[in-house]
Amino acid sequence: MLFHVEMRVHLPSDMPEAKAAEIKATEKAYSQTLQREGTWRHLWRVAGSYSNVSIFDVEDNEALHRIISGLPLFPYMEIQVRPLCRHPSSIRDDDS
């Protein structure tokens, strides 16, 4: 199943820079592993904000929830999830 996920990060202003850098580095490694596996298909930064738009390819809602809640930045995120399905006017025969 494909999901469009928008994540907005809100780190506390009083979080020490070293702690924020550590969380971000762990987050980067986790997301890149999922990208290499094909689970996190696309990742785009939203210009001008600390947010991203991503496409996930997972088995079901629960799998997506496990992945998202496993993100090191999860406690500091506002997340919107939208399930996706093929559009009948698409010229593609697959999800590429």
Percent of the chain with pLDDT over 70: 98
pLDDT at residue 26, rounded to an integer: 98
Q: In whole angstroms, what is the distance from residue 38 CA to residue 56 CA?
A: 8
Question: pLDDT digits over 33-85, tens only?
Answer: 999 999 999 999 999 999 999 999 999 999 999 999 999 999 999 999 999 98
Across the chain, mean pLDDT equals 95
Query: Pick from 38, 54, 55, 36: which is nearest to 46 by CA?
Result: 54
| pLDDT band at residue 96 under the 50/70/90 scheme | low
Q: In whole angstroms, what is the distance from residue 21 CA to residue 23 CA?
A: 6
State the average pLDDT over residues 19-34. Answer: 98
Q: In whole angstroms, what is the distance from residue 56 CA to residue 2 CA?
A: 6
Domains along the chain with CATH numbers: 2-84 (3.30.70.1060)
Give the pair of three-digit tokens for residue 83.
Answer: 């399930």
pTM score, whole prediction: 0.90
Give the pair of three-digit tokens for residue 18.
Answer: 């070293």
Please enumerate in sequence order all residues whose Cβ is within 8 A of that of 7, keeping only pairs 6 or more positions apart, or say none: 51, 52, 54, 68, 71, 73, 77, 78, 79
**Cβ atoms of 54 and 8 closer than 8 Å:** no
Q: Which helix (H) or strand (E) holds 42?
A: strand 40-45
